[in-house]
Structure 1
Amino acid sequence: MTSALKRQRRPHVPIYEYRCQECGHVQEQFHRSLAKARVPACATCPSKEMKRVISRFATPKTEAQVLEQYGSPGPGAGPDAYRDPRQIGRWAEERFDQMGVEMPAEAKQMIDAARDGDLPDPVKDL
């Protein structure tokens, strides 16, 4: 049997989200099988009153939808422009301008450092 067929037959492994009815904390719970699924206790308070919530999900976007939502990457940018962490700074600056809000000094420093090649820790490995 080919690996493609094996992948098609493999059951989905559910990850559910639960909200604590006492403190409001939302947490994910991985279940190896639906038959053995148990409602977890809250990770932030001692409550066992958890309710399953409907999770948000992502939908794939076409290139046209990405351009419509985020704008053109600019002249000379290649197809990987949106994968470049340095573009995040450009996008952030534009959004602050559109909202009429002044960008915090710390954010400006991080953007300038990223443009010089010193990426912040969360995006260094992208």
Structure 2
Amino acid sequence: MPIYEYYCPDCHKIYQFFVRNVPEHRAPACPRCESTELTRRFSIFTTTTTEESRLEKLADPSKLAGLDENDPKSLARWMRKMSKEIGDEDMGPEFNEMIDRLEAGEDPEEIERSMSMDPKSPPTDSTLYEA
């Protein structure tokens, strides 16, 4: 039992109609002006995905196309794309800050050190510190 959308050219409105019997379905009259000139519209629809299918999509090697692990801006674009793939959930202010800093061209390792939960975490071998 589908729901169809119809556009009324006289009212310039879209209305939804529940259809009980599809084979006998005829275009309805406008509920506002009673026009019979309604035209059927394509409705927007969504599908649900399981966590498993979502992870399978993320594991697809084509999702890595254009990713340059040595380019912070490329990493930021990929991270934004992947966050949308998993449902555009809010990943928190730290995630957004990290992406903003990558887009600005900052070194990923420096970002990781500065955002570390443990302020005493040792520097990596590639970091030079002046005494």
TM range (shorter): 0.3 to 0.5
Larger radius of gyration: 2
> TM-score normalised to the size of structure 1?
0.41
| TM-score after normalising by structure 2 | 0.39
